[in-house]
Amino acid sequence: MAAFDYDLFVIGAGSGGVRAARKAAEAGARVAVAEHDRVGGTCVIRGCVPKKLFVYAAQLGEAIEDASGYGWRADNVAFDWPTLLASKDREIARLEGVYRANLAKAGVELVEERAALAGGHDVRLEASGRTVSAERILIATGARANPHAALPGHELCITSNEAFHLERLPRSIVIAGGGYIAVEFAGIFHGLGVDTTIVYRGKEILSRFDMDLRRLLHAEYENKGIRIVTQQVFSSIERGRDGQLVANLSDGGRMVTDAVMLAVGRDPNTGGMGLEEAGVQLDAKGAVCVDDHSRTSLDHVWAIGDVTDRLQLTPVAIHEAMCFVETVFHGRPTRPDYRSVATAVFSQPEIGTVGLSEDAARRRFANLDIYKSAFRPMRHILAGRSERMLVKLVVDADTQRVIGAHALGPDAGEMAQLLAVPVKMGARKADFDATIAVHPTAAEEFVTMAAPTERIRNREALPA
Ligand SMILES: Cc1cc2nc3c(=O)[nH]c(=O)nc-3n(C[C@H](O)[C@H](O)[C@H](O)COP(=O)(O)OP(=O)(O)OC[C@H]3O[C@@H](n4cnc5c(N)ncnc54)[C@H](O)[C@@H]3O)c2cc1C
């Protein structure tokens, strides 16, 4: 008789947990996965997927505006929010069905309740009161929007979760935060006709991205009419007499608005799970501490995805899941590889990026060549849209390797995926130059920038 009920018990059926459960089961393990909400996790239910559907909806607004320059008459066009919500909900339900079917096909048992560690190899299932045992336990519980509980009036605000289900589209919204979720939702709401303001405590939105992208996106957002207030935070939120919200700012200013959205970071889902009691070490933010192979401080407990607060992205959670299964169920120790992870910000215009920003490169490389091209993409010309596009390469001047590739403009996210291949392979600038352009495209700029726009000779600036 087997010593444990399962070979692997996964807590959390999101991007990472579902992949790990399926792949372990396909490798012959007896696997269960617990989920106390909907199957698919943040990405499918309340993250990447519904967000991207909303981005498409918002982009269509601009496409309709642009259409007249191309000869289309688009009179009496109207947008209906309930239709978008219903279409989005249908698609999410379809995808959840696919996730459930894939788990079943792989032979994974789905346990639809909240799970917590109960000491040793035991897992407590809260609704049924059952305790089950597993040789190995995988924590894949993700993260949730920080509710900013210290802010007076925070309960009057929404987070990205509620933004996907608003009964009515607000006429105006103020979004707190400068990360990609705040910036993306600002583009969505503005594109759907909502008067939109971002309030961000930092100097410039989107910290950690290349400064040229950050500045240009800021400028383009303001050109569209999205207000961006930097170096300010909310001091309190109140309900006004007319039902509107009043957002009071740290400089004494106030904004009257229909809705306030908080996008001020995400907290790991580790509370009330018996982790520390069982001996699993957490960091100061409450994230599960793991080693290079995603193993926690307990030998038989592993953790992947957002709950470990490494790189909070769906493909990274999936990659960590694959490495975990390779290590544990195929006997091939495999570390997740975080080099050159491409990423996008689905703002409007969009950002696509891979490798180092210029600032990060300046801190690590003695000599750099920067190639930049800013232009109006062809599709905007007849439309009469003034929006500019930027493409940029950061090159290590000593080896000629391209160490960063960045784009802001239409389809930049798609470009980043393909740019990730040469950047990860260590391609040199000459390899880009030797590639014949696809014409006419915006992406061709990446292979036609002949001379550096700037040569940075930086050796003295680096620590010895
Ligand atoms: C608005 C938004 C937009 C995003 N857009 C993108 C994007 O464009 N691209 C991208 O790559 N990433 C994006 N992300 C991030 C991405 O969604 C996450 O990185 C990814 O979902 C992490 O996967 P995970 O498996 O770690 O956790 P999750 O997908 O969050 O899954 C964790 C699951 O565990 C469940 N759970 C938690 N505790 C328990 C418990 N005790 N018992 C049982 N079940 C439990 C939760 O209900 C959840 O279903 C976005 C996130 C948000 C919020």
The encoded tokens of residue 10 equal 């996964």
Where b means 16+ CB within 10 Å and e means fewer, 63-81 reads eeebeeeeeeeeeeeeeee
State the pLDDT at residue 464: 64
State the pLDDT at residue 214: 98
State the pLDDT at residue 181: 98
Question: Is 380 annotated as catalytic?
Answer: no
Entry pTM: 0.97
Residue 42 CA to ligand 1 center (angstroms) comes to: 3
Q: How far apart are CA 128 and CA 144, in angstroms?
A: 24
Which entry of 121, 300, 330, 439 is annotated as an active-site residue?
439
Residue 439 CA to ligand 1 center (angstroms) comes to: 39
Please name the residue whose Cα sits nearest to atom 6 of ligand 1.
Answer: 48
At a CB cut-off of 8 Å and minimum separation 6, what does 101 contact?
A: none
Q: How far apart are CA 396 and CA 452, in angstroms?
A: 12
User: What average pLDDT values come out for the chain (464 residues) when binned by 10 residues?
Assistant: 90 98 98 98 98 98 95 93 98 98 98 97 97 98 96 97 97 98 98 98 96 98 97 96 94 96 97 96 97 98 98 97 98 97 98 98 96 97 97 98 98 98 98 98 97 89 70
Q: Are 215 and 196 in contact (CB under 8 A)?
A: no
159 lines ligand 1 (CB under 6 A): no
Q: How far apart are CA 173 and CA 255, in angstroms?
A: 10
Q: Which of 51, 141, 348 to probe ligand 1 with, by most ligand atoms within 8 A of CB?
A: 141
Residue 328 CA to ligand 1 center (angstroms) comes to: 23
Q: How far apart are CA 300 and CA 113, in angstroms?
A: 22
Q: How far apart are CA 432 and CA 455, in angstroms?
A: 18
Residue 311 CA to ligand 1 center (angstroms) comes to: 12
Q: How far apart are CA 85 and CA 263, in angstroms?
A: 21
Distances (CA, A) of 198 to 112, 166, 237: 38, 19, 15
Distances (CA, A) of 186 to 72, 180, 352: 28, 10, 18
Q: How far apart are CA 36 and CA 142, in angstroms?
A: 12
Q: How many residues does the chain have?
A: 464
Distance between alpha carbon 125 and the CA centroid of its chain, in Å?
30
Atom number of ligand 1 nearest to Cα 17: 25
State the pLDDT at residue 2: 72
State the pLDDT at residue 463: 72
The encoded tokens of residue 124 equal 């407590």
